[in-house]
Structure 1
Amino acid sequence: MPSAVLAASPRPSPPGAPAGGPRATLWLLRLVALVHAGLVVGQPVLAGIYLSGRFDALATHSLNAGLVILACMVQFGAALVYVWPGRGRGWPALVTAMLFFAEGIQTGMGYAGKLAVHVPLGVAVVTTQVVLVVWLFRAGARRPRSRPKAGEQA
């Protein structure tokens, strides 16, 4: 009887979660991306408060810009963990790197007062981060990246 226990196959994966796919690393990325998205979505709200006459909101908008960039750096680390040890797809790390670059330009344009670049780039950053978060909560994010077949190069 004990040999039957040892020979038993592993537990099947729950429905919708493929065996060997990213789990803990995906939840880490989801959490960090949600925090980042909250900070990013807060930026136009703070700008609107400033434009409505509460001029002290500009200092909060500036402080939040630093937090947005910090959250993006943490998100990039979480995306790398999702990709390599977690065997997740690689494009979220690439998108996060592009967001980091865009947020740096965004911050510089804001301090320089170049609103013709600052406003549309802000819209692009918010849209990109929100779309990324939505994808992270869809089933496709749970699927592991495909492995090369025998005889193919990695």
Structure 2
Amino acid sequence: MSRYSGRGQRRGPVTLMRATAVLVLLDTLAQAALAGLFVTGDLDLLAWHSANADILAALTLLQTAAVAVVWRRLGGPAWPLAASIALAALVGSQQALGEARVLAAHMPLGMTIFGGAAAMVCWTFTYRPRRREAQQERPAPVEAAQ
């Protein structure tokens, strides 16, 4: 079997999707740690928190692209793509709230983002792509001879 057929063809996009989901989750955790350390008095970490928000935004866009490839090329479900788009939008909103110093909304939204990122990691590691050929080329039912 060639590298570009069968199982190998499905493995690459799924691996990329899983890797980006893990990176988003880890970076979200880093954001929470930076925020916590800033709140305890290390004011220099606010700049790190702000810079890391840009990284998190880029990672959520990369995750969305990876999920889109799995959905499009492997026939995966559409809801994870919608969830990834929503997560990217939430991160953008989170950045705007942080820049505006609206902490009453910024902190709970951060927890929501962490929950969404954790859910995406759980889904990506339980997802198993099905063979498209098997879905498209089902044999006609055989009628019993009388």
Report the TM range for the smaller structure's normalisation.
0.7 to 0.9
* Equivalent position of 1:103 in the other structure: 91
How many Å apart are 1:149 and its aligned residue? Answer: 10
Q: Mark the runs of 5 or more structure 1 residues left unpaired by the alignment.
A: 1-9, 11-18
* Equivalent position of 2:23 in the other structure: 35
How many Å apart are 1:28 and its aligned residue? Answer: 0.9
CA RMSD, Structure 1 to Structure 2 (Å): 2.4
Whether contact under 8 Å (1:72, 1:96) holds in the other structure is yes
CA distance in 2, matches of 1:149, 1:126: 40
Aligned partner of residue 137 in structure 1, secondary structure: helix
* Equivalent position of 2:48 in the other structure: 60
Whether contact under 8 Å (1:23, 1:142) holds in the other structure is no
TM-score (norm 2): 0.81
Query: Which of 125, 128, 137 matches 2:125?
Result: 137
Query: Which of 55, 62, 70 matches 2:58?
Result: 70
% same residue? 30
Whether contact under 8 Å (1:89, 1:144) holds in the other structure is no
Ranked by relative contact order (alpha carbons within 8 Å, sequence separation 6 or more), the top structure is 1
Query: For this pair of structures, how many residues does the alignment match?
Result: 132
TM-score (norm 1): 0.77
Which one has a larger percent helix, Structure 1 or Structure 2?
2
- Note the alpha carbon deviations across 1:48-93, whole angstroms, 9 max, x for none: 0101111100000000000000001111111111111122222111
- Note the alpha carbon deviations across 1:77-123, whole angstroms, 9 max, x for none: 11111111122222111101001111111000011010111011110
Query: Which of 35, 46, 57 matches 1:47?
Result: 35
Aligned amino acid, residue 67 of structure 1: I
CA distance in 2, matches of 1:68, 1:31: 14
CA distance in 1, matches of 2:58, 2:81: 15
Aligned partner of residue 85 in structure 1, secondary structure: helix
